[in-house]
Amino acid sequence: LGFLGAVDADGAEWRPARRGDRLELDGVTIDVLSPDSAWAASQTDINEGSVVLLVRYGNTRIVLAGDAGIATEARLTGRVGRVALLKVGHHGSRGATSDRWLDELNPEDAVISVGAKNRYGHPAPETLARLRAHGVTVLRTDERGTITLTVSSHGAFAITDVRHHD
């Protein structure tokens, strides 16, 4: 049946997220930075239509880059500003997480959601090198398991993980 089929079967309403959408809940603000309908439709790489979110709670700002790559990053550069944490785009592929993007976001930490021994070779060595060159602490799900970010109302945050038990 699939996820959207189940949503429809429950009678819930839904629509695709688009730039400018905002959700506010319990002090958390989630802004959709991308995609922009017309721009995303003009892209040949479907990943450039991925949802990119800016999540704010207190003074903590986080970007969740979905599968967006360098083209989306370039489009957003100059509109985001500094963040505490970046969920790296496209599983750390070499086609995402540019120097220009990292210069603007200047994250302390980055999370890469990636499967162990995946057939794509993600994360790419080039991407890891760019993150290291910017002084970013990298946390990877293939090495650390589930990664959880806890943010207090006054802006302090902690990252915890559940180690794999191979």
pLDDT reading at 161 higher than 80: no
Taking residues 97-106, report their average pLDDT.
97
Q: Given this model, what pLDDT does residue 130 score? A: 97
Q: Provide the pLDDT for residue 133.
A: 97
Q: What are the pLDDT digits (tens) for 53-79? A: 999 998 899 999 999 989 999 999 999
**Could you tell me the pTM of the whole model?**
0.86
Give Cβ neighbours of residue 71 (< 8 Å, ≥ 6 apart): 43, 45, 48
pLDDT band (50, 70, 90) for residue 125: very high
- Side chain identity at 34, as an amino acid letter? S
- Which amino acid does the sequence have at 56? R
Q: pLDDT tens across 89-98, in order?
A: 999 999 999 9
